[in-house]
Structure 1
């Protein structure tokens, strides 16, 4: 298999703290440094969240602007993807950074359970976020926590709420949501190809100890991979990951195992039909 594999690094997220792993980058300067090291290791997408000074999740557009500028300066051509997830804010504040025109943004098109609460994505908010992405020429990454989310993405593409072919990411291993199940994973691939075409790009993300499993399955199956400290703070059961770059290097090793070249920034932009850097 010679199809290049795009590696996304989810650098920070909204949950892990330095008390969990000192390598979690909290300040914008830490995030830029961590992203640069991950970029040098092979990552071509930076999935970004921002935090306040005390580590709390935030949707502050000014912090996103500073992070975007730093990543673009130190990681030429890297795809900058912001999160519109519900842990970082409420209502339209979740999309307050979209006028910055990042290359991509996450979009969850339906609700589901999380470990201690409902991940609430009401239709009117989903429609507003999708319209902002069209307005600002941002490609959505559909965060599929459930099979229905893939079908909803197809409906939204058909009626014009999504532009072009979305990038679908299967998220597995979140407590109270979709568990890590190989038959379900394979059916996700089948469904995505049936609804969007055999060449539609897709990705997979596994949470916690499942990160390496989902990376392995995705790379072996021709998809793309997400890694990083947002989803997993360990190299193995007893060892904390020293950096985002260390997790990226594990993913690069899997690419070699399955004879998948690691996508360059130019290849990743072409695969995802993004504007040039």
Structure 2
């Protein structure tokens, strides 16, 4: 398959700590360094969260601004995608960084269960986040935890309420949400292509399922997400030494599937994103 595969590295998230894996980058400086290594290994999208000084999750726009500045300086051309996820804040605070105009931001368009809580994405908040992304021309990556989220994403895009090209990520393996199931994965891909032909998509597998979803997605012509946010191990008994190591494993899967890895220029072309400074 000649189509380049975009690799997204989710560098930090809101959950893993250094007690879980010392390689998890917490400070802005650590995140920039870890992302630069992942960028050089083949990642073209950085999915970013920020943390407070004590390591707890934050949605502070000032911290996002420092991170964005550092990534633009040290990873020129890389697509920066900021998280509006619900673990980092509540209500409209989740979108407080959107005026910074990152290339992309995550957008969950519906609610679902997480391991110990309900991941709430009420319609009014989804509408507000979408309107902020439209106003600031931030292209969303739709995080689909359920089949209904695919339908909602397509409806929002067809109604002109989302900027840019539609890009959907299937998230599988979160406890109490959608399990890793090949028939469901295939149905997700088929459904998205039926509702919105030609739409680009990727997949994320949580924990031990990260490699499995990378393999399925790359083989099916989609794009791949890896990184310490979703998975802190290389294997059952081996911690991942870095985000770059997880990216390198994804690069090797691409090679085994005979798919080229997308450069940042190719990734921007595929997703319809302008080159930096344009």
Deviation of 1:164 after TM superposition, in Å, equals 4.0
Q: Which residue of 1 aligns with 2:101?
A: 101
Question: What is the TM-score of this pair, normalised by structure 2?
Answer: 0.98
After superposition, the C-alpha distances for 1:205-241 in whole angstroms (9 at most, x for unaligned) are 0000000000000000000000000000000000000
Q: Which residue of 1 aligns with 2:200?
A: 201
| Secondary structure at the counterpart of residue 275 of structure 1 | coil
After superposition, the C-alpha distances for 1:89-147 in whole angstroms (9 at most, x for unaligned) are 00000000000000000000000000000000000000000001011111100000000
Partners in 1 of 2:52 and 2:4 — Cα distance? 36
Q: Which residue of 2 aligns with 1:12?
A: 12
Q: Which residue of 1 aligns with 2:163?
A: 163
1:79 touches 1:269 (CA, 8 Å); kept in 2?
Answer: yes
Pairing of 1:23-62 with structure 2 (within 5 A): 23-62=23-62
Q: Which residue of 2 aligns with 1:149?
A: 149
| Secondary structure at the counterpart of residue 129 of structure 1 | helix
1:171 touches 1:204 (CA, 8 Å); kept in 2?
Answer: yes
Pairing of 1:1-277 with structure 2 (within 5 A): 1-197=1-197, 199-277=198-276
| Secondary structure at the counterpart of residue 171 of structure 1 | strand
Question: What is the TM-score of this pair, normalised by structure 1?
Answer: 0.99
| Secondary structure at the counterpart of residue 87 of structure 1 | coil
Partners in 1 of 2:41 and 2:274 — Cα distance? 23
2:42 touches 2:247 (CA, 8 Å); kept in 1?
Answer: yes
1:165 touches 1:196 (CA, 8 Å); kept in 2?
Answer: no
Point out 4+ residue stretches in structure 1 off by more than 4 angstroms.
none
More displaced, 11-20 or 148-157? 148-157
